[in-house]
A = this chain, B = another copy of it.
Amino acid sequence: MERESDYRERLKKSGLKYTKHRTAILAILAQSEPPLAAEQIYLALRERGLPANLSTVYRTIETLAEKNLLKKRSLIGDSRVLFEYNRAHHSHYLVCLGCKKMLPIRRCPLGDYEEKLERETNYTIAGHNLDVYGYCPDCREKGHRGN
């Protein structure tokens, strides 16, 4: 787990000023396994005793994503944009269509596919987005009704 000074360092390297909100947002996302939406981050900040305006949250996460400290994601059937701490090793999710739970898939099934695709297409590959959808055992028993 990273300390506050680590986040401070990261912000500095990205040419961003240090603020309590930015540090807290980085910490919140670093400690959250699943990606979070702006409002969830907003609520988490309140819980930490560092309430911020919603628009500040939006601006901050957008800035952090531009600097590649965070990654943007989105799920089918959810109009919100989700943000995830940009970890060294990326992870995918198996999303339950019933209860929306996100089960991390630690090993990326693509392997060295990106390099292969790069050679085949002559594109410069930047990354990929993969989510698998299905029903968890609980929701399947409940007849796909979800939570």
Known: A113-B109, A114-B132. A126 touches B103 (CB 8 A): no
Q: When the two chains form their complex, are residues B129 and A117 in contact, meaning their CB atoms are under 8 A apart?
A: no
Contacts of A131 in B (CB 8 A): 128-129
Known: A76-B129, A130-B128. A135 touches B123 (CB 8 A): yes
**A1 at interface by CB-CB < 8 Å:** no
**A19 at interface by CB-CB < 8 Å:** no
Q: When the two chains form their complex, are residues B123 and A134 in contact, meaning their CB atoms are under 8 A apart?
A: yes
**A125 at interface by CB-CB < 8 Å:** yes
Interface residues of A in 68-122 (CB under 8 A from B): 72-77, 79, 81, 94, 96-97, 103, 105, 109-110, 113-114, 117-118, 121-122
Give A112 to B108 CA distance when docked, in angstroms.
14
Q: When the two chains form their complex, are residues B129 and A125 in contact, meaning their CB atoms are under 8 A apart?
A: no
Q: When the two chains form their complex, are residues A117 and B105 in contact, meaning their CB atoms are under 8 A apart?
A: yes
Give A89 to B74 CA distance when docked, in angstroms.
24
A→B interface (CB under 8 Å):
72-77, 79, 81, 94, 96-97, 103, 105, 109-110, 113-114, 117-118, 121-137, 140
